[in-house]
Chain A
Amino acid sequence: GENVEQHPSTLSVQEGDSAVIKCTYSDSASNYFPWYKQELGKRPQLIIDIRSNVGEKKDQRIAVTLNKTAKHFSLHITETQPEDSAVYFCAASSWGKFQFGAGTQVVVTP
């Protein structure tokens, strides 16, 4: 089955700096890669996603890149703000079977 690894497990950044989270997956059949943000005590929320026919996608300060050959994808957050502090999860889906990474605790310090 699919195995998703996510790094780093914790990430501390200064406000205004960029944050990068990286994930690798094992199943070459995976074709959909969503990212979720989970604030303390709240549900995971979809923030951006990318399909396997696209190499990069951007939405304001958030971007995701996908390298199918290397089986890795990354989340980039630019100009970080305190409200970006949360746990971020990557996931890989192969026809409906979402497997999640272990999560990255992002802390943005003023």
Chain B
Amino acid sequence: ETGVTQTPRHLVMGMTNKKSLKCEQHLGHNAMYWYKQSAKKPLELMFVYSLEERVENNSVPSRFSPECPNSSHLFLHLHTLQPEDSALYLCASSQDDRAWGLTGAFFGQGTRLTVV
């Protein structure tokens, strides 16, 4: 499959559960991102990995834990979430060409997360 794929597409979890979101990109990019999209709010940048190193952690609570084992895979580990964490979580990838920084991000379909 081409592009950026995310699994699962939908997730319902209790506040005491532990779950993980998975993202895989087939574009040969070297940077990956997690964004949170809530209703009527801008896309919120959570984490950026460039060349498998985390280069941005945008004041995200520790109940969200990212993992980037290689340039094609990105995970978001979730534990003891709150109802306000319910949102669409979007993964994206991009190419860092060093001359101009990162190029446009290509998004996955997202995981619709509901915390009950």
Contact = CB atoms under 8 A, between A and B. Distances in A.
A98 B42 contact: no
Nearest to B56: A97
A94 B90 contact: no
Nearest to B6: A43
A44 B42 contact: no
Interface residues of A, number: 25
A99 B90 contact: no
Nearest to A99: B45
A98 B110 contact: no
A15 to B, nearest CB: 26
Interface string B99-114: 0111111111110000
B48 A96 contact: yes
A97 B35 CA distance: 11
A73 interface: no
